[in-house]
Amino acid sequence: MSDKKTPHARGIDTEAIRAAARNVDDGAVTAGYPPERKEIIALLNAALATELVCVLRYTRHYFTVSGLINRPIKAEFLKHAQEEQDHADLLADRIIQLNGEPDFNPATLMDRSHAEYDDSRSINAMIRANLIAERVAIEAYRQMITTIGEDDPTTRQMLVGIMAKEEEHAEEMRDLLA
């Protein structure tokens, strides 16, 4: 290599980075963020709707299940409801960081969600509905991760983490079904 730049400095134009960084209104979104920002926010809002529907479904299942023998199942439903809420919080927070608007509108929630609500009466049917919803969520996250690719590593990493949790949830529901 003939150029005298150190490996650290190579390829990084500090002056250009500093000039662009003065655009402080954009917060965490810097000059190099890909032009697909709005599409990424739309993906995150669909995931947010999915998580909110999952919170409602698991919460209803938690309150509906009764009986001493069903306590472990009830506890599992509650844990999942809380973890889906954690996912919703992460997604809403990331949408804000990307200068988007998290959509919590209940009137359009079902249309925007990938997974479905469930009002089954039997515990088996509830577990089955949850397992299907988890499988829907896993697949939706997989496709989102592929779509985002290398465009936004932070969002990608967050989605990978959420998807890993959904895989755990699916496994736990399949265990309960057995």
Give the footprint of Fe ion on this chain (CB under 5 A).
Answer: 51, 84, 87, 134, 166, 169
Closer residue to Fe ion (CB): 41 or 49: 49
In angstroms, what is the minimal distance from the CB of 43 to Fe ion? 15
Closer residue to Fe ion (CB): 140 or 148: 140
In angstroms, what is the minimal distance from the CB of 159 to Fe ion? 11
8 Å CB contact between 135 and 82? no
DSSP letter (8 states) at residue 71: H
Distance in angstroms (rounded) separating the CA atoms of residues 15 and 132: 52
Give alpha helix (H) positions in the chain. Answer: 14-21, 37-64, 71-97, 109-112, 123-148, 153-177
In angstroms, what is the minimal distance from the CB of 17 to Fe ion? 36
Closer residue to Fe ion (CB): 17 or 164: 164
Distance in angstroms (rounded) separating the CA atoms of residues 89 and 94: 9
Closer residue to Fe ion (CB): 21 or 75: 75
Residue whose structure tokens are 């999952």: 54
In angstroms, what is the minimal distance from the CB of 63 to Fe ion? 18
